[in-house]
Amino acid sequence: MKKEDLRIIFMGTPEFAVETLKALVENDYNVVAVVTQPDKPVGRHGSVLQPSEVKKFALEHHLPVLQPEKMKDPQFVEELRGYQANLQVVVAFRMLPEIVWAMPEYGTFNVHAALLPQYRGAAPINWSVINGETQTGVTTFFLDKDIDTGRIIEQKPFDIPDDADVEYVYDGLMRLGADICLSTLQRIIESDGHPESIPQEQLTADNTTLHHAPKIFKETCEIDWTQSAKQVYDFVRGLSPYPGAWTTLLSPDGKETILKIFKTTKVAHQSPNDRNVGTIVIDKKTLCVMTGNGLLQIDELQPAGKKRMAAKDFLNGNKNIAECIIK
């Protein structure tokens, strides 16, 4: 098979997917159409429609764009079939019905931001950092009936430094995802559309614990200070800068203030663990909070209704902070 023989439909929505679509365009792959989410209402009254990042890129490069409300809509399915694609590439998109993923001759493969079968689900990058993983990666696999369970084509690892936040990992996997898409396409070309792939079960030992990556909601992001300092540290960086881990500051008079926490530091020299969880400790002009097994230093935070700031600036504006507690 030659490169020119592939007629590709690309499916994706956020910035993460743009890097892969860009790689396809720059490497002269024949992307015959792009499928993305419908424009999203924004603004105070939802009167302004905001196109996805993928749509913006596609229009800039004169690629046809499809935006179905429902993936099973007969009109959309027929329109999709009309492009006569023999391969579909999916990056950061919604779940597809079988009538869509099984349509092309060579199937549909997905670029997933984890080393499957670990971290199946909608938020693999966040959860890998939250769980303190030292390595993650990207996987290409053929879609099947269940979410993120299809046969694996290729994987590429990515190291997670201990001080990295989710933005660092996101950016790294975004670029690595584009790379693995290109190498997977090369495998498809060299194999005449039928690259070697393996069932995910072959990568799982009998005693392997599988970690999942469910969608993250606001309540997911609340800090549990009864956890260890290391767990809270990983939790914060796994949600920084977006959507942001949060906690509640309780003043002596009962006033509650929501604080987003963006950056923390593990305290090397701990004081005796004789303080209650959530106790605020001011030590040499640094802001620390008592966790389940010791202090954790807060470096950057954002009080509700204010800008993100360094903890020292927050202390300067809140002289009685030591009298408050975190809950």
Burial class (CB in 10 A: 0-12, 13-18, 19+), 79: middle
Fill in the DSSP letter of residue 105: T
For residue 107, pLDDT over 80 is answered with yes
Is the sign of the CA dihedral 165, 239, 112, 28 positive or negative? negative
| Contact yes or no for 248/258 (Cβ under 8 A) | yes
Q: How far is CA 245 from the centre of its chain?
A: 15
Burial class (CB in 10 A: 0-12, 13-18, 19+), 132: middle
Measuring CA to CA, how many Å separate 10 from each of 86, 277, 289?
12, 49, 47
Separation of alpha carbons 101 and 95, rounded Å: 9
Q: What is the DSSP string of 284-305?
A: TTEEEEE-SSSEEEEEEEEETT
- Which tokens belong to 115? 């080393």
What is the pLDDT at residue 319? 80
Separation of alpha carbons 5 and 55, rounded Å: 25
Separation of alpha carbons 23 and 181, rounded Å: 9
| Contact yes or no for 266/233 (Cβ under 8 A) | yes
- Report the predicted TM-score, pTM, of the whole model to 2 decimal places: 0.94
Q: Mean pLDDT, the chain, as a whole number?
A: 94
Backbone angles phi, psi at 189, to 5 degrees: -65, -45
What is the pLDDT at residue 275? 80
| Contact yes or no for 101/95 (Cβ under 8 A) | no
The pLDDT confidence band at residue 270, using thresholds 50, 70 and 90, is low
Across 17-46, average pLDDT = 93
Separation of alpha carbons 183 and 5, rounded Å: 16
For residue 205, pLDDT over 80 is answered with no
For residue 271, pLDDT over 80 is answered with no
- Which tokens belong to 171? 């950016």
Measuring CA to CA, how many Å separate 102 from each of 88, 143, 145, 183, 268?
9, 8, 10, 22, 54
The larger pLDDT score, comparing residue 42 to residue 326, is at 326
Strands 256-266 and 245-250: antiparallel
For residue 267, pLDDT over 70 is answered with yes
What is the pLDDT at residue 322? 83
For residue 274, pLDDT over 70 is answered with no
Predicted confidence (pLDDT) per residue in 66-84, tens digit = 999 999 999 999 999 999 9
> Range with the lowest mean pLDDT among 5-9, 70-74, 322-326?
322-326
Fill in the DSSP letter of residue 120: B
Which of 173, 110, 184 is CA-nearest to residue 147?
Answer: 110
- Which tokens belong to 208? 């392997």
What is the pLDDT at residue 143? 97
For residue 59, pLDDT over 70 is answered with yes
What is the pLDDT at residue 72? 97
For residue 149, pLDDT over 80 is answered with yes
For residue 45, pLDDT over 90 is answered with no
Predicted confidence (pLDDT) per residue in 112-147, tens digit = 999 999 999 999 999 999 999 999 999 999 999 999
